[in-house]
Amino acid sequence: MGSVHPEINHGRRDLIKLGAAGMGVVLLGEQALAEPKKGVKFDEEYDVIIVGSGFAGIACGIKCAEKGYKTLMIEKMGRIGGNSVINGGIFCVPQNDLQKKAGIKDSNELFIADCMKAGLGINHKELLETLAKRAHETYQFTLKYGAKYLDSLVHEGGHSVPRTYQTAVGSGAGIVLPLMERFEKMAGVALKTRTKFDDFVMDDAGRVIGILAREDYRFDSKLFSDDLENQGGTPKAFKATKAVMLASGGFCQDKYYRAVQDPRLTPSTDSTNHPGATAGVLLKAFGIGAVPVQVSWIQFGPWACPDEKGFGVGSMFNVNASFRYGISVDPKTGKRYMNELADRKIRADHMFAVIGKDENYPINLCDSQAIERLLPDHYEKALKAGILKKFNTLEELAQQYKMPVEAFKKTVTDYNSYVKAGKDPEFGKPTNMVDGITLSKAPFYAMRGTPKLHHTMGGLQINTQAQVIHSKTHQPIPGLYAAGEVTGGVHGASRLGSVAITDCLTFGMIAGENI
């Protein structure tokens, strides 16, 4: 194996000892503390270097290649796409064509208000306004390069109206793969997987002019902190004559840095993210003066299942079926406890209250009418895995999860009456968005639910041109752009479902347009 780039000096401090869940973990520390390098001999030269290969990176890459820029995209993992390729493929577009066809009234102002409500009012509004103005153009951009969507809208929690497209394949791969296929066919581009960003290279004026990296790198998920401990790979230096663009994603899998932000997050806290979602690039950007924004706001996705690891095969059953067309029940009481279409933070908080200290996981359920609305992959794999269960009667369902049968049946009867009446007096679920579907047609489907770490709200401060802002000058850091989950401010305290794809793609495009 190789070593960390020789340009990075380890002389000032050799070791940092970090405590984690009762065990001491010894980590090489100077890699994270090193100053940005100057006077480096470059191995290769490009116009633009993009760090990350998900939604934001690919959108930026296509825009740069369209302008004739020689563009390098690096990805530290062995496959492209990061979280983007495994997510649910739900894409929020306010005032879209399907809304107009269905007579659904929407506006940019309503979209922004919904995001601000979920974000507790601390969103950077100018970034949201940019998203709202550009979202439809972003959607058209994905269509141009081969993405395909269903011809019906998803109603995500916290949104006042349905405004979300679903990819035809049911995951983010339906966007990532066709766009990446297009990018790789464009002139002057290069894609390097298993290539790890190590540091920025700066000139004397403080401009980012390149990066230090390691090729032939192998991410090691067994390490407590791969960013600090993993010395593998072949050192390289890449020059960027125009800009470096960061699209490295969030840090939900960074056991150290996430616990610094929220000490309740232990190394065993599960996440929907891919293993490489760590803070290494983010921290290096802070090291050259980038402004940190709302980094401690970390979102739990409320639709996961405790009977599988990560995002798994069960999450989309809850996203698109049980929460919209069904209910979530406390198994101890057999009763509902929340608005199943509230925003993610509200739902996660209520679910944690039910789970408590004795792992009393809520039961999320729907009937066969709801299942008929799903893509087969969004329930068949979960059935095969045994985490989604099928019942001929409500009594069987209640007995399986040791719920009080009569209390549960009354809950279902009450809920059905709310749907028919068009009003939920208990929890305020917007019953006009459930298409008249009640819990009445067997078979019934149920799954245990739990929130899991899903999205880090905070990151680098950017402006509406996707330029990274310096903490001392309050001006853009020359030669540095960023988009997607590595940035902060768009979502405030909590992100609405399906807005991440909009955020990543739109600001990725904007970065490419402005470089």
Question: Which residue, 157, 163, 151, is CA-closest to 109?
Answer: 163
Active site residue 344: yes
Element (H, E) at 415: helix 405-421
Single out the residue of 206, 202, 183 nearest to residue 56, CA to CA: 183
Buried b (16+ CB within 10 A) or exposed e, 293-313: bbbebbbbbbbbbbbbebbbb
SS3 content of the chain, % helix, strand, coil (to 5): 30, 25, 45
Separation between Cα atoms, residue 132 and residue 94, nearest integer Å: 7
In sequence order, which residues have a C-beta less than 8 Å from that of residue 493 and are 6 or more positions away?
A: 118, 119, 120, 122, 294, 297, 345, 457
Residue 348 to residue 66: CA distance in whole angstroms:
42
Phi and psi torsions of 232, nearest 5°: -75, 160
CB 142 within 8 A of CB 504: no
Q: 164: Cβ–Cβ under 8 A, 6 or more apart, which residues?
A: 90, 91, 92, 93, 153, 154, 155, 156, 497, 498
Q: Are 178 and 145 in contact (CB under 8 A)?
A: yes
Catalytic residue among 134, 214, 344, 347: 344
Nearest to 37 by CA among 286, 284, 212: 212
Q: E strand or H helix at 226, and its extent?
A: helix 226-229
Q: Collapsing DSSP states into helix, strand and coil, what is residue 335? A: strand
What residues are annotated to the active site?
344
